[in-house]
Amino acid sequence: MQTATEVGMNHSGMDAAPDAEEMLENTELTDPRGDEREAAKVRAEYVAEAGPVGTLPQAEAPLMLLMDKLGERLAFERSGTRLYDALMMKCKAAGAKIPAKELQHIRDEEAMHFALCGAAIQSLGGDPTEQTPCADIAGVEGMGLVQVLTDPRTTVAQCLHAILVAEMTDNAAWEELIELTLPTGNDDLVARFRKAQANEAEHLEKVRGWYKAATLNGGG
Amino acid sequence: MKGILQEKGVALEKQRLTWRDLVQKPISKLDDDAYTRVRIILMNGIELEASRFSHAAARMNPPALQRMLADVRIVEQHQATLINWLIGPDHSPLETTIAYEQVAIDVTAGVAMREPDPYLAQVYRFGLLEDFDHMYRYSALLDRLEGKDANNILQSYTDILPARPTIEHHRAPQDNLRKPYDRKSAAPLSKLHALTIMAAEQQTHNFYMNIGPMYADPVARQLYAEIASVEEQHVTQYESIIDPEESWLEKWVLHEVGEVYNYYGCMQQETNPRIKALWERFCDYELGHLQVALAAFKKFEKRDPEEILPTELPEPIPFASQREFVRETLANEVDLRANGTEIVEKSKESKASLQYRKEVNADGSPSETISAGYRWAPGSELKLKVA
C-alpha cells in the first residue's frame, strides 16, 4: 500500500488541463442573474419550520442535557472503538512504526468508556440503548472519519489526522460531561469521568506525536 | 375501500406540486414509529415502479398512449420525490439499508401470511428468509463499521438473526424464475401482492446499487455488491410470478389500482398525522390516475375494466411486527432451496446453482466475513466483549 504522498498524474487542476484556456472563457461568457443570498433565505425558512432531530423520553428535567450528552459520549466512544479497529488494521497492513500494543490499549479504553457511559446512563435512570438527539448528530459528524479510516487508499498519516479530530473532540467532551455532572453531586461518577478524561488526554498526546512523525515521513 | 371505479379522486390537471412542496420536513429518525419509515420506503418503491413501468410501456406503445402515460408519469415522479425526501439526512446509508430490510421482512411476511395462492405464499416465504438473513449481515456491518445499533432503526419490532445464509442465496439464473399466476383466475389480492413486493425489491436493488460504492470500506463495498446481486435475483423472482399475458393496458390499470390500494393501507395505519394527510392526498391523486388508465383501457382495448378489477379493494397489507410468523418460517423452511420454478429440499437443489455459487464465492464470501462471530446485543456486540 501507499505510505506517503508521491508525485503523479493529478488531473484536477487547471495547470494540468490542455483545455484550461477555453475553460477560463466561462467566467466571461456568464452574465449571472439574481442575488446569491437567496439560498440563505430559503435555508432560513426551513430552519424556522424544522422540528428537533428527536427527543429524550425518559430523563427528568434537570438531567436532560446530561443524559443527552451521555448518550452522545456513548455513541462517540462506541464509534471511536471501531475507528481504532480500523486504524490498527491500517497500521499493521502498512507496517507503520506505531506500537500495536499502545493502539490496542487506546482501543480498549475507548470500549471501556463506552461501557462507562452505558452504566452512568443506567445509574441515572436512563436507557443506554436509546439513541439521544446529540448521539444521533455525533453519528452524522463521525461518518467522515469512518470513511477516512476505512478507505484502503488512505495513508497512516491521513488516518491519524482523522483520529486527531476524534481525540480532540473526546477531550473537550469529557470536560463538558464533568461540568454537567458536578451539580448532580454524584462524586463517584465525576471521579470516573475524570479518569476517562485523563485517559483521553494521554490518547491525544500520543496521537499528536504519531501524526507528527507520520507527516514528517511524507505521509500527507 | 368500495367502488374504486366510481371514485374520481383529484383530477390530473390539479395535481401540481411546487419544488417547495417536494422538499418537506423529514420524519424524525428517533421519534417517529419505525413503520412510518417503512411505509415511506415502500411507497417510494411503489412510485418508482410506476415510473419504470410507464417508461417501458411508452417505449412499446403508440404516441396517443405515450401522451397519457407521460401526463401521469410526471406526477408520479413528483410523488416519489416528495416521499423519498421524507427520510431524514441523519440516517447513514447503512441505517437506511436496515430500514429497507425491515420493509422486505415485515411487509413480505404480512403478504405471505395472507396470500391465498399456496405456491405464491411459498415464494414469498422463500424470499423472506433471504432478506431476513441480509438484516443480520448488515446489522453486523453497522455495528462493526459505524459503531451503531441496528435496533435504533428497528425499534425492537424485527429480529436480527442468521437465517438462510446469504452465501447460499446465489443461484443459476434459471433457478430464480417462478411460475406466474393466471391473470384470468388469480385472486385480485394475489395480483396486488405481487406488484407490491416486486416494486419493493426493485427499489431495494436500485438503492444498493447506488449506495454500495459510497462506502470506503472494501468489505462494505463487497457486502453491498453481494446482496445487490441477491436483490437482482429477487426482482427476477417476483416479476416472474406476474402473468406476462396481461396486456400493457391491463398492467397499467393494475399498477394504478395497486397504488390506490397501498396508499389506502398507509393512510389507514399511519400514526404521524402529517404523513397520514399526505397518504390521503396521494390516495386521491392515484384515484385520478386510475381514471386516466381506465379511459385508456376502454379507448384502446375496448374492454370493460370490471373484467380485471375487483369491485372493492381487499383489506390492506399490515404494517406490523411479524416476529412469530418469521421465526416459525425460519424454523420450518431455512433449508429450502430452488430448482427451476420449484422450491425444494436442500438435497434437491439444482447442480447449476451449486456450480454458480461455487464460482461466485470462489474468492470468499463478504456476508460471512463481515458477520464472523457476530451476534446482536443491545447497544453493540462490544457490550458483550467489554462486560
From chain B, pick out residues whose CB is under 8 angstroms from the CB of A110.
none
- Cβ-based contacts under 8 A for chains A and B: 98
Q: Is B164 in contact with B133 (CB distance < 8 Å)?
A: yes
Q: What is the average per-residue pLDDT within A10-39?
A: 94
CB contact set of A3 (below 8 Å; sequence gap of 6+): A94, A95, A96, A155, A156, A217, A219
Flag whether pLDDT at B225 surpasses 90: yes
Of B87-91, B263-267, B380-384, give the lowest mean pLDDT range.
B380-384
Report the distance separating Cα B54 and Cα B255, nearest Å: 10
CB contact under 8 A, A78 and B379: yes
Flag whether pLDDT at A1 surpasses 70: no
Report the distance separating Cα B108 and Cα B102, nearest Å: 9
Q: Is B30 in contact with A53 (CB distance < 8 Å)?
A: yes
Flag whether pLDDT at A57 surpasses 80: no
Reported as a single tens digit per residue, the pLDDT across B286-310 is 999 999 999 999 999 999 998 888 8
Q: Is B108 in contact with B128 (CB distance < 8 Å)?
A: yes
State which amino acid sits at residue A144.
Answer: G
pLDDT of residue A5: 76
CB contact under 8 A, B148 and A133: no
CB contact under 8 A, B386 and A75: no
Which of A128, A133, A146 faces B379 most closely, judged by CB atoms? A128
Give me A40's grid cell: 440563505
The Cα angle at residue B281 between residues B154 and B274, in degrees rounded to 5: 45
CB contact under 8 A, B145 and A82: yes
Task: State how far residue A162 is from chain B, nearest Cα, in angstroms.
Answer: 14
Flag whether pLDDT at B387 surpasses 70: no
Residue of A nearest to B145 (CA): A82
Q: How many CB atoms lie within 10 A of CB B64?
A: 10
CB contact under 8 A, B383 and A115: yes
State which amino acid sits at residue B284.
Answer: D
Task: State how far residue B234 is from chain A, nearest Cα, in angstroms.
Answer: 30
The residues in B 131-150 lying below 8 A from A, measured between CB atoms, are 144-149
Flag whether pLDDT at A167 surpasses 80: yes
Q: What is the average per-residue pLDDT within B147-153?
A: 98
A217 band by pLDDT with thresholds 50, 70 and 90:
confident
Which of A49, A112, A129 faces B379 most closely, judged by CB atoms? A129
Inform me whether the C-beta atom of residue B21 falls under 8 Å from chain A C-beta atoms: no
Interfacial residues of A (vs B; Cβ cutoff 8 Å):
46, 49-55, 74-75, 78-83, 85-86, 111-112, 114-115, 118, 128-133, 136-137, 139-140, 142-143, 146-148, 150-152, 154
Helix (H) or strand (E) holding B345: strand B342-345
Flag whether pLDDT at A218 surpasses 90: no
**B182 burial via Cβ count (<10 Å: 0-12, 13-18, 19+):** exposed
Cβ burial A145-161 (10 Å sphere, 16+ → b, else e): bbbbbbbeebbbbbbbb
Residue of A nearest to B30 (CA): A54
Q: Which residue has the higher pLDDT, A57 or B370?
A: B370
From chain B, pick out residues whose CB is under 8 angstroms from the CB of A151.
216-217
Concatenated DSSP letters of B210-239? HHGGG---HHHHHHHHHHHHHHHHHHHHHH
CB contact set of B270 (below 8 Å; sequence gap of 6+): B36, B39, B276, B279
Q: Which residue has the higher pLDDT, B312 or B164?
A: B164
Query: Hey, of A131, A145, A147, A159, which one would you mutate to test binding to chain B, going by the most B CBs within 10 A of its CB?
Result: A131
Residue A161 half-sphere exposure toward CB, CA atoms < 13 A: 13
Q: Is A83 in contact with A145 (CB distance < 8 Å)?
A: yes
Flag whether pLDDT at A68 surpasses 90: yes
Reported as a single tens digit per residue, the pLDDT across B304-336 is 998 888 878 999 999 999 999 999 999 999 999
pLDDT of residue B385: 81
Inform me whether the C-beta atom of residue B3 falls under 8 Å from chain A C-beta atoms: no
Residue of B nearest to A57 (CA): B31
Q: Chain-wide mean pLDDT for chain B?
A: 97
Q: Chain-wide mean pLDDT for chain A?
A: 94
B92 band by pLDDT with thresholds 50, 70 and 90:
very high
A37 band by pLDDT with thresholds 50, 70 and 90:
very high
Flag whether pLDDT at A79 surpasses 60: yes
Reported as a single tens digit per residue, the pLDDT across A110-130 is 999 999 999 999 999 999 999
Q: How many CB atoms lie within 10 A of CB A180?
A: 17
Q: What is the average per-residue pLDDT within B44-60?
A: 98
**B43 burial via Cβ count (<10 Å: 0-12, 13-18, 19+):** buried
A2 band by pLDDT with thresholds 50, 70 and 90:
low
Cβ burial A22-39 (10 Å sphere, 16+ → b, else e): eeeeeeeeeeeeeeeeee
pLDDT of residue A216: 85
CB contact under 8 A, A78 and B380: yes
